[in-house]
Structure formats: structure tokens, C-alpha cells
Amino acid sequence: MPLTPDQSALVRGTVSFLRTHGETIASRFYASLLRAHPDLNNLFNSANQANGRQPRALVSVILAYAASPAHTYELIPRLERVCNKHCSLGITPDQYDLVGKYLLEAFGEVLGEKWTPSLRGAWENAYKVLANMLIGREAQLYSKFGSWKGFRFFRIEQKICEADDFYSFHLSPSDRKPLPSFSPGQYVSLRIDVPSIGYLQSRQYALSECPRKDYYRISVKRDRGIQANQGIEAFHLKPGLVSNLLIDKYEVGDLVSLSHPAGGFQFDVDVCGTGPIVFISAGAGATTLLSILNNVVEREDDRPLSWIHCSSRKAPFEEHVRCLARARDNFTIRLFQSQLADLEYRCGSAHGEGLKMDFQKLERKTLHLDHGATEYYICGPEAFTKDMSASLLGQGVDRARVKYEWFTTGELQLAA
Ligand SMILES: Cc1cc2nc3c(=O)[nH]c(=O)nc-3n(C[C@H](O)[C@H](O)[C@H](O)COP(=O)(O)OP(=O)(O)OC[C@H]3O[C@@H](n4cnc5c(N)ncnc54)[C@H](O)[C@@H]3O)c2cc1C
Ligand code: HEM
């Protein structure tokens, strides 16, 4: 049922409280949900809970909704990433009631006396409206998944070292049935058992090759974490759980579970553009863009191309990209290497000045800035993606031509 004007006003009235206490509410909500339903630890990313990213991501959407509950259409583009992530993880409509129960209880606990019956009624209705929007879009996405529901076993057919700490896995379905196609740029969720925490864990990995009928390829970068001796005291991050397990313990013949390809960052293979394409990536971000690059080359599209990548060590896929470039006369490669690339962008852009300046030194012709139809595809850590998009927009590139994906949870807010 749509919100009444009174209910809208009550929901809007909680916005300033949510700005201050939203993360407390979200953290309490996840803690009580996971305490009461420990099996859901198999679904949620333990690192995003521990570092607060997931509670922050949830609050950001709820705040956007609460600020304007009567204009839900404005929210639709922001929900696309959430719905794709949900479908990739197999979230079902019945789980929305469970989440709503614990979320509204957490509202009540934190709001205390302010949680009057009428405010509670307004938020119950508001949650239903928001949940129904998500459920509706997720039903549409699931219908495109066909008979592939949930996770499916895949066998590791090949494990290839692409660069230091960077491995590709060729994965074939155990049931040997043909694989659905996907749009270059999309990802799968890969799920494995993580003995150190006693739960299954899923992580998203971009499909790094063009669509093939019999295997998917993902390419995984080891997350070493950040050690105290690397000089940035505020960041002592643990090594990543899933990437390290995959690289150290998973070999040819082992099984992993994958979900159907998903993700709204897609290269539209049906649109035949003619302008140049500039790919800009850092670290593992090259994986997403490689799938697009391979697709463009495989269909013999002769658009001018630039491949710009920065990483802390040797660039992954360097030989492959150089080999593609040798076969064309309109392909430019620029590789930046900085020992600090990883660290800088994990700690925020303030430390990324070196790379930012390198980027600003790139020739206009490498970036095809003078061509009004150049398309830019950017992928990497959140701060990198923000910096590079801002730099392009600052040089007069139209926002609609800058497409970006980032490898962390939550929304990426570009400068206005
Ligand atoms: C759409 C998408 C596509 C992606 N594609 C790729 C890809 O193609 N290749 C690729 O390599 N990666 C990709 N990623 C990233 C990937 O999903 C994982 O996030 C990455 O492999 C790290 O996972 P992990 O389990 O190893 O690390 P996690 O265990 O998830 O840890 C992640 C980070 O959180 C930190 N952390 C853990 N606990 C805490 C704590 N208590 N406090 C503070 N920080 C903490 C860790 O130190 C680590 O730096 C993609 C992500 C997305 C969203
Ligand atoms: C109105 C209800 C909901 C809202 C507003 C919401 C919002 C979000 C947001 C913003 C994200 C982060 C997306 C990203 O940037 O990657 C997310 C991820 C996720 N959501 Fe929801 N969600 C809702 C309901 C649910 C339900 C019902 C479930 C099922 C239990 C669920 C499980 C998850 C999981 C497992 C993730 C990924 C977490 C991670 O990777 O850390 N959500 N959701």
C-alpha cells in the first residue's frame, strides 16, 4: 500500500536522526539478525560486516529513500547495483520479511521513546514499499537466469599465474551443460568454505574472458592486507580470506560454486559505436575491462583503443594486451607501476597523488579527449575510480561517456 501523506512526513522526519544514528541502527540490525539466524553468516561477507561497509551501504539506501519516500522512481538507478548483487547471491523474497523484522526492531531500540506506534506503522509500510521495489526488479533479473537457480558446482580446469599474486581460473560446470552467455563487464559470485571462520563465503569476480560455451574464466588478485610495517599506521588490514584460499589451496580438479553472471556494468555488444574506447584500470580492475577488450577485438571492431593500467607490480595480462596491440595500428598502451598503487588507493585518494599526477600527464591523444564520441571504461578500487572519473569530467568529458565499476560494497559518489 502506498504511503499516506502523514506516513511520508513521519518517515521524512526521521532523516536527520538517521544521518547521525543510521550506522548504529544498521550495525545492531546485522548483529541481531546474524545472532538469531547464524546460517546467514554463510550469505553475508564477513569482512564487509567487520569493516562496516555493508551497514554503511544499507544506511545510504535507506536514507535516500527516507528523504523522499514519495519519489521512489528517483531511487531506481541506485537500486540496480543492489538488485544485481542480491540476485548474484540468490536472495529470495521471503528473506525480506526476516530482514524487515530485525531492521525495524533495531530502529525501535535506537529511537527509544521516539518510536511511537504511528512512526512504527509508517516505517513498516515504508519498508514494504522499498522491499517490493527490490523484489520486483530481482524477479525480472532472475527470470533472465532461466533454469540456473542459486549456486552451481564448477571444476577448476586450469589455474594460470598471470603475474605476481594474480591467478586465472578456468571453471567448467560439473553438470557439463552449456553455459549461458553474459555481457562483458559482468561478474559471478564464487562461494567456498572458509574453515578459519567456519562459514561459506561468497565474493564477486568479474568474468575476464569473452563468453564461451564450456567454461568461465575469472582472475583473482591476492589481497595481502596491509602490514603495520608498511608505514601507514591507521591501516592494519588482515589478508583477504577468499582470494588467499583460492590462490594457495585450490588446484586443478577442485570444485567451487558459482552463481549466474550478473551486474549492471556491461558493454552493450548490440550497439555498434564508432568512437574510440579508453580502458582505465588499477589492480584487479583489469579483469572486468579485459572481457570488454577481448570482445571488441574478437568481433573485429576497428575502433581506436587505449589500455591504461596501474598496479603495484607487473601488470596482469601484459603479454596478451601487447599481442593484441601489435595486430592493430590504433591501439595504445600505457602502464604505470607504483609500489604504492595498492596501498594508496586502499587508504583513500590523499595518498594517490603520484598516480593521479601520472594520469594527468597522459597525452590528450592517448585519452582521445578531442573525439566527441570516445567511451571510457574505468574499473578499480573505489578511490581510484573516483579520481580517474573526476579527472576526465574535469577535462570536459561528458558524464554519459564515462562508465565505471568498483570492487567494494556500497555506492560510489562522484564529485558533482
Ligand atoms: C563487482 C565486483 C567484481 C570483482 N571482480 C574481481 C576480480 O575480477 N578479481 C579480483 O581479484 N577481485 C575482484 N573483486 C573483489 C573480490 O570480490 C574480493 O573483494 C577480493 O578478492 C577480496 O576478497 P577476500 O575474501 O580475499 O578478502 P576479505 O576477507 O573480503 O577482505 C577484504 C578486505 O577487508 C579487510 N578486512 C577484513 N577484516 C577487516 C576488519 N575487521 N577491519 C577492517 N578491514 C578488514 C581485509 O584486510 C581486506 O583488505 C570484485 C568485487 C566486486 C564487487
Ligand atoms: C529493503 C531491503 C534491503 C536493502 C535496502 C538492501 C540493501 C543492500 C545494499 C545497499 C547492499 C550493498 C550492495 C553493493 O553495493 O554491493 C546489499 C548487499 C547485500 N544484501 Fe541487501 N538489502 C535489503 C534486503 C536484503 C535481504 C532481504 C537480504 C537477505 C538476507 C539481503 C542480503 C544482502 C547480502 C548478502 C548482500 C551482500 C553483502 C556483502 O557483500 O557484504 N539484503 N543490500
| Under 8 Å between Cβ of 125 and 7 | yes
Is the Cβ–Cβ distance between 133 and 175 less than 8 Å? no
- The overall average pLDDT reported for the chain is 90
Q: Which amino acid is at 226?
A: I
Residue 336 banded pLDDT, cuts 50, 70, 90: confident
3-state DSSP call for residue 259?
Answer: coil
Distance 148 CA to ligand 2 centre (A): 21
Q: Which helix (H) or strand (E) holds 290?
A: helix 286-298
pLDDT at position 361 over 70: yes
C-alpha distances in angstroms, 168 versus 146, 203, 219, 288, 289?
27, 15, 4, 13, 15
Q: Is residue 348's pLDDT more than 80? A: no
**Whole-number pLDDT of residue 79:** 94
Instruction: Name the pLDDT band for 349 (thresholds 50, 70, 90).
Output: very low
Nearest Cα neighbor of 221 from 304, 134, 313 is: 313
d(CA 220, CA 259): 16
- Number of residues that make up the chain: 416
Residue 82 Cβ contacting ligand 2 at under 6 Å: yes
In this model, does residue 227 exceed pLDDT 70?
no
pLDDT range class, residue 387, cuts 50, 70, 90 = confident
Does residue 354 carry a pLDDT above 70?
Answer: no
Ligand in closest contact with the CA of 84:
2
Considering 65, 96, 102, 345, which one is annotated as catalytic? Answer: 96
Told to judge if 345 belongs to the known catalytic residues of this protein, a careful annotator would answer no
In this predicted structure, the answer to whether residue 233 has a pLDDT above a threshold of 70 is no
Is any atom of ligand 2 closer than 6 Å to the C-beta of 99?
yes
Ligand 2 pocket residue status of 134, Cβ below 6 Å:
yes
What does the pLDDT look like over 4-49, one tens digit per residue?
Answer: 999 999 999 999 999 999 999 999 999 999 999 999 999 999 999 9
Q: Pocket residues for ligand 1 (CB within 6 Å)?
A: 45, 47, 50-51, 187, 203-206, 218-221, 223, 225, 237-238, 240-244, 263, 284, 287, 407
Task: Look at 199-208, 281-290, 344-353 and tell me which has the smallest mean pLDDT.
Answer: 344-353
Ligand 2 geometric centre to CA of 61 (Å): 10
Report residue 111 as a C-alpha cell.
529511537
What's the pLDDT score for residue 350?
A: 46
Catalytic choice (138, 209, 375, 382)? 138
Q: Which amino acid is at 229?
A: N
Report residue 109's pLDDT band, with 50, 70 and 90 as the boundaries: very high
| Proximal ligand: closest to the CA of 286 | 1
94-111 and 117-144 helices, crossing angle to 10°: 150
E strand map for 63-206: 152-163, 166-173, 187-194, 199-206
Beta-sheet strand order (sheet of 187-194): 199-206, 187-194, 255-258, 152-163, 166-173, 216-221
**Residue among 412, 304, 287 nearest 367 (CA):** 304
Ligand 1 midpoint to CA 240 (Å): 6
- Tell whether ligand 2 has an atom less than 6 A from the beta carbon of residue 28: no
Q: How far is CA 261 from CA 54, 182, 218, 373, 392, in A?
A: 22, 6, 11, 29, 29
Residue predicted with more confidence, 340 or 160:
160
Please indicate whether residue 102 is annotated as part of the active site. no
Domains, the chain: 5-144 (1.10.490.10), 152-258 (2.40.30.10), 277-406 (3.40.50.80)
CA-nearest residue, atom 32 of ligand 1: 240
Ligand 1, residue 244: give the atom nearest the CA. Answer: 26
In this structure, the residue with its CA closest to atom 38 of ligand 1 is 47
Find the 201 Cα to ligand 1 centroid distance in Å.
11
Burial of 223 (0-12, 13-18, 19+ CB in 10 A): buried
Q: How far is the CA of 328 from the centre of ligand 2 (A)?
A: 43
Smallest-distance ligand from the CA of 410:
2
pLDDT of 159 > 50? The answer is yes
Measured distance CA(399)–CA(102) in Å, rounded: 39
Upper half-sphere CA count for residue 14 (Cβ side, 13 Å): 30
> What's CA 301's distance to the chain center, in Å?
28
> Across residues 340-360, what is the average pLDDT?
61
Please give the distance, rounded to the nearest whole angstrom, from the Cα atom of residue 320 to the centre of ligand 1: 25
Q: What is the pLDDT of residue 190?
A: 98
Q: Of all protein residues, whose CA lies closest to atom 4 belonging to ligand 1?
A: 205
Query: d(Cα 326, Cα 374) in Å, to the nearest integer?
Result: 22
